[in-house]
Amino acid sequence: MPVAAETAVRALTLLEVSAGHTLVINGAAGGVGTAAVQFARDRNATVIGTASPANHDFLRSLGAMPTTYGAGVVDRVRALAPAGVDLAFDVAGQGALPELIELTGSPERVLTIADPQAGQYGVPYTSGGGQRSYQALGEAARLFTQGRFTLPVARTFPLADAPQAHRISEQGHVRGKLVLLLD
């Protein structure tokens, strides 16, 4: 939970997400995406989240408007946000940066943690380093105590099965977090 919360808050802070913004989160049902949806909604932003259809009800329960990713995503997002999209956060990679730039109108309005091709498009990439958001856990705790933050555990693994957990993580499409249990 700490890594997902810190990454989400850092990204939203770098994007300067605030009330009135419409934000697209590409990969909204994973651990970081789930946290980002909830933190963005706390900032009174409208959130559109891309995810597989099996995760759409889950995203709605968090206050996001879901849509599927892939071919036609620009048209689907525009149908959900006819006034336009202000910002985009790419959590999933998968080559979505051109579409997110098209939706926001500028690579500076997009941020990724997942696409190593970010520089090719002029999109900022964040991996932490000196940009850590130390207030993230406090924000998560505040929302949790108000019943407004959850980070589901998709599956647990004994430490010996860490390679399997890593393979599943690399495949994507995980709702929430994969957790390694220490014996």
Global pTM? 0.84
Sorted by where each begins, the domain ranges of the chain are: 2-131, 152-183
pLDDT tens digits, residue range 6-63? 889 999 999 999 999 999 999 999 889 999 999 999 999 999 999 999 999 999 999 9
The pLDDT tens digits for 69-108 are 999 999 999 999 999 999 999 999 888 999 999 999 999 9
Provide the CATH topology of domain 2-131.
Answer: Rossmann fold (3.40.50)
Three-class secondary structure assignment of the chain: CHHHHHHHHHHHHHHCCCCCCEEEEECCCEHHHHHHHHHHHHCCCEEEEECCHHHHHHHHHHCCEEECCCCCHHHHHHHHCCCCCCEEEECCCCCCHHHHHHHHCCHHHEEECCCCCHHHHCCCECCCHHHCCCCHHHHHHHHHHCCCCCCCEEEEEEHHHHHHHHHHHHHCCCCEEEEEECC
